[in-house]
Structure 1
Amino acid sequence: MYKKLAIQTIIYSIGLILPKFINYIFVRFFTFSLKREEFSIYTDMYAISFLIIGLLSFGLENTYFRFLYKKNYNKNIVFSTAMIIQLSIVFSFFIIFINFIKKFISITGYSNHPEYIIMFFLIIFFDTICILPMAWIRINEKPFLYTFINMIVMFIQSFFVVYMFFCYNNYHNLNLENKYYLLNIFNIISSFTDKIGYIFFSNVLSSFINFILIIPIIIQELQFSNFKKSVAKKMINYSFSIMLGTIAFSINENLDKILIKRWGSDEINGSYSACYKIASFMSMYTRMFKLGIEPFFFKKSKEYNAKCYYEDIIYLFILFGLIFYVLTCGNMSWGINILINKKYHTAMHIIPIIMMANLFLGIYTNLSIFYKIIDKPFIGTYISLIGVIITFLFNMIFILLPNNNFIIPAWGTFISYGSMLFVMFFWSKKNFGKIFYKIENILIHFLITITIVYIMNRNSIIELNFVIQLLYLIFIIFFEKKRLLTLIK
């Protein structure tokens, strides 16, 4: 059982990690190719789109997983009902956007570049439709197909970004014959947008390709006759709370960048956003875990010893997350020079803060299975609102203080996710009993990890940091020898 889970998680991880790895290469490419204010616009547009996708996705992915293993619903009815709800929401958004397009452009502050908003509308439209079919691939245990689609999408986006930036930088160095054949597409695209728009246009193409690749799944699985009104009502009631929680997460994750751009400056936001992306290494780890684990959690929810599975897996998630945290932060002093341009380094001290915040969020996400399997997603909504309030508070402090110190929103993210985890842990303990029989071990790991990272950040000798990391790994092997041997077996 664990072997199959591990293999599937590894395959899913390839489909996630490789595109993410390519994305980090492009972060370096963009920080060298774009000015900080341009990078700020690039980040701002994605921050706004995540908020909208959080609304339009309506929590239906989690709802789909839950209803497949609840009351023996027919899987075709569950998919068709969820997909019809999703399509109804997306096409309603399409109609609203078309009728109020000028308002959207004005509110976001991009009147000088309306094409940005139009392109992101298309990205949001295609990406939202793809959510449930991609979930269907995961639930039907087709990790190779999932990875294949992600790789194709990544290749298309990467190719067009490189192509258009190459054309932009070398346009005047090419002879006339090559201009006619090589730059025809570039000339068309450059006629309505600029260098930042090339990135967005590449994303439109990749999102469209993703949509094309999942159409066979929709055609095969979606049957309007399988739509059940009674099931739809229950799914909407269940997913509404998850949707609110998703929006709360999007606010926690993106509000700082949106406000720093508008109340600080594009230069500050550019540096903050670039370093924030480096810190999101941790969210890549948590996402990788979630892809393989979440369907497994729901599948095991009916078994009498399900809690034992949850405890083992969440404990390992925390352990490997802390190891990942130490190794990443311990090598950041020289690694950041490889990842982003030096002009963005002014915000590098937010990286350990945001990384630990993302680990808190990952643990919270794993613990959230407890309220999902008893059909009480509103618990997650209430906890997420606590996080949103804290995030708003710290961002208001950032706006009101005259020096606009961007470390304040970073600590806001840390305390927000930490508070959510704290409340989630005690709620789970109250309703499900003792979650971790060795909670003191977890606390020891956290204390040692934070101490080590603090020491390494205060120290500039790379060789000494390497020795500290080696000693830390030896300690982990010795301290968790029995659990690690069991995992390997």
Structure 2
Amino acid sequence: MGLLKKLAGQSAIYGVSSILGKSINFLLVPLYTGYLPKEDLGSFTILYALIAFLNVVFTFGMETSFFRFSTGKGLPPEKVYRNTQSLVCLVALALGLILYLAAAPLADFFDFSGKAHLFQWAALILTIDALMAIPFAKLRLDGRAVTFATVKLANIFLNVGFNILFIVVAFHVVNGDILPDLQPWVNQWYRPNGGVDYIVLANVLANFLILPLVWKLVGTWKFELKASILAPMWQYALPLLFMGLAGVTNEVFSRGLFEYALPENNYPQLSAREAGGVFGANFKLAIIMSLIIQAFKYAGEPFFFQQSENKNNPQLFARVMHWFIIFCSALMVAVAVNLTLIGSLFFQADGYEIALPMVPILLMGYLLLGVYYNLSIWFKITDQTRYSFYITFAGAVVTVLIILTLVPVLGFIGGALSTLGCYLTMVILCYLTGQKYYPIPYQTGKGLSYLGTAFLFSYAGFWLDTGNVAVDFLLQNGVFLVFLILIFFMEKKELYSLFHSIRKRNHAN
């Protein structure tokens, strides 16, 4: 229980920063939908899908490799850090320069005519992100969760602040609504149709300002490249690079390819790029599940590696999985039953609610991604990372196939099903191979029952509609309450044992 408590504590710190940070970012949804046209949101969706994809290339699996070689290979952690950071910096600067120089043809290829500067700024974002990746990993490995969370939040606050400054404040200054004395100065640089530009520029400035702080907190490092250290790290990381590429295909291609797979006039009131903007905006409503998965990954990855020598780790990993599924299933139902209310609060223009029915599918998809992160520990601690590529490549193939076959037929629902189908495929393959090479006594039957029940309860609550907002709210959250009661009865023995041990410990103290 002590180890679970440690993992829960670390996850809570990462979770608070992720929840607060993503909640603040989530508040940008009404800002974007209120101030920007749907077409701009479509452009934003495509550009950030590309950034997410290339982010994997810029770090090429070295974060996980850094964890592995700093904890279980008998190497001095500081020496591993110096070599890893040196290599990542060198590669990031080279790739960033290439992307910067290729901005014009990329802009033409993705139909961003006259917007080459967006791809130059994307190169800066990717380079700075990579320069901070290993220092952030070191903070996690050193258990400095509070420092990590604080810096991440500072980055988010800066990003959001610049977004508000460029998109809202400057807009109202130019229109003469506020701060009239600043109008001549703002008029010199503000462009009313520069919505996507300002989103990307805000990201560049926030990253640029936070980079020196991250390096200062981690401490100075000496440039060092030793083949004896980096060669085995590269062999370990190479499959993870391909896993990451396949994984990010699963994660972002549904958004990036959506507008290209959608038939013309599939939604008569929307162009393909506008439909992509609606799809991307609704995708953000699943962000709550995504940030919980991210928080768990931040805490879980170093934790699992540190426990890799524990002879009881299979039982520990099974217990972590069990409670992870319970918590995330409850979270899924809580969000899904209130989606109509959440959508009405965050969509500040008409036309976005058309895609709301896809969100419970996305929530389940992200939940399965978290299950996959739990399952994937077997090939990481046994150094069989090649399986990561096979599994995620299969998921990527499923993603693309579903997008190309179901988006033309089902539209938004088809796009969401690509995410669900992908992660379901990865979970099944990872479970089957893992149980063969590194058996872990998961409570598989119970886990499946929770997942299936959560999915049914989510749609049952979402589709409840009496025409009365107050009555709908009570009935929908009544569905969530019933789910919690179900969890209590299924886990009452475990909960009783937990509460008894806590009470006994408090009494002893």
If the length of structure 1 is used for normalisation, what is the TM-score?
0.93
Shift of 1:15: 1.9
- Structure 1 counterpart of 2:12: 10
Name the amino acid aligned to 2:203: N
Q: Which 5+ residue runs of structure 2 have no aligned equivalent?
A: 263-271, 467-471, 503-509
- Structure 1 counterpart of 2:160: 158
The one-character-per-residue Cα deviations of 1:455-489 (angstroms, maximum 9, x if unpaired) are 22332142222222212211211211233345553
- Structure 2 counterpart of 1:439: 444
Shift of 1:269: 0.8
- Structure 2 counterpart of 1:337: 344
Name the amino acid aligned to 2:448: L
Counterpart of 1:231 (choices 229, 232, 240) is 229
- Structure 2 counterpart of 1:458: 463
The one-character-per-residue Cα deviations of 1:266-315 (angstroms, maximum 9, x if unpaired) are 12111111111112321111111112222111000011111121111111
Name the amino acid aligned to 1:418: L
1 CA distance for matches of 2:251 and 2:391? 15
The one-character-per-residue Cα deviations of 1:120-178 (angstroms, maximum 9, x if unpaired) are 11111111111110111111111221122122212211222112221113313168961
Summarize the Cα distance change of 1:278–1:224 in structure 2 as closer, same or farther, 3 Å threshold.
same
Summarize the Cα distance change of 1:189–1:219 in structure 2 as closer, same or farther, 3 Å threshold.
farther
CA contact (8 A) 1:77 1:228 kept: no
2 CA distance for matches of 1:275 and 1:60? 32
- Structure 2 counterpart of 1:352: 360
- Structure 2 counterpart of 1:103: 105
Summarize the Cα distance change of 1:191–1:218 in structure 2 as closer, same or farther, 3 Å threshold.
farther
CA contact (8 A) 2:96 2:126 kept: no
Counterpart of 1:379 (choices 375, 384, 387) is 387
Summarize the Cα distance change of 1:136–1:59 in structure 2 as closer, same or farther, 3 Å threshold.
same
The one-character-per-residue Cα deviations of 1:82-120 (angstroms, maximum 9, x if unpaired) are 111101211211332344333233233223212211221
Shift of 1:219: 5.0
Counterpart of 1:363 (choices 366, 371, 381) is 371
- Structure 1 counterpart of 2:254: 256
2 CA distance for matches of 1:410 and 1:44? 16
Summarize the Cα distance change of 1:464–1:175 in structure 2 as closer, same or farther, 3 Å threshold.
closer
1 CA distance for matches of 2:289 and 2:314? 25
Counterpart of 2:434 (choices 420, 425, 428) is 428
2 CA distance for matches of 1:334 and 1:375? 46
Shift of 1:330: 1.1
2 CA distance for matches of 1:249 and 1:487? 36
The one-character-per-residue Cα deviations of 1:238-271 (angstroms, maximum 9, x if unpaired) are 1111111111111112112222233430121111
2 CA distance for matches of 1:193 and 1:405? 28
2 CA distance for matches of 1:175 and 1:278? 32
2 CA distance for matches of 1:192 and 1:163? 13
- Structure 2 counterpart of 1:325: 332
- Structure 1 counterpart of 2:274: 267
- Structure 1 counterpart of 2:267: none
1:19-58 aligned within 5 A: 19-58=21-60
Q: Which 5+ residue runs of structure 1 have no aligned equivalent?
A: none
Name the amino acid aligned to 2:366: N
- Structure 2 counterpart of 1:120: 122
Name the amino acid aligned to 2:319: D
Summarize the Cα distance change of 1:136–1:487 in structure 2 as closer, same or farther, 3 Å threshold.
farther
- Structure 1 counterpart of 2:505: none
The one-character-per-residue Cα deviations of 1:318-352 (angstroms, maximum 9, x if unpaired) are 11010001111111122221122342111111101
What's the % identity of the aligned pairs?
24
Name the amino acid aligned to 1:173: G
> Does 1:313 pair with 2:316?
no
2 CA distance for matches of 1:274 and 1:42? 10
> Does 1:477 pair with 2:488?
yes
Aligned positions, number: 481
Which SS does the other structure have where 1:190 is aligned?
coil
1 CA distance for matches of 2:158 and 2:143? 25
2 CA distance for matches of 1:415 and 1:147? 32
2 CA distance for matches of 1:35 and 1:418? 34
Counterpart of 2:297 (choices 269, 290, 307) is 290
Shift of 1:34: 1.3
Counterpart of 2:419 (choices 401, 413, 417) is 413
The one-character-per-residue Cα deviations of 1:12-63 (angstroms, maximum 9, x if unpaired) are 2222211100011111211111111111111111111011111111011111
1 CA distance for matches of 2:335 and 2:75? 44
- Structure 1 counterpart of 2:182: 179
1 CA distance for matches of 2:132 and 2:112? 27
CA contact (8 A) 2:41 2:277 kept: yes
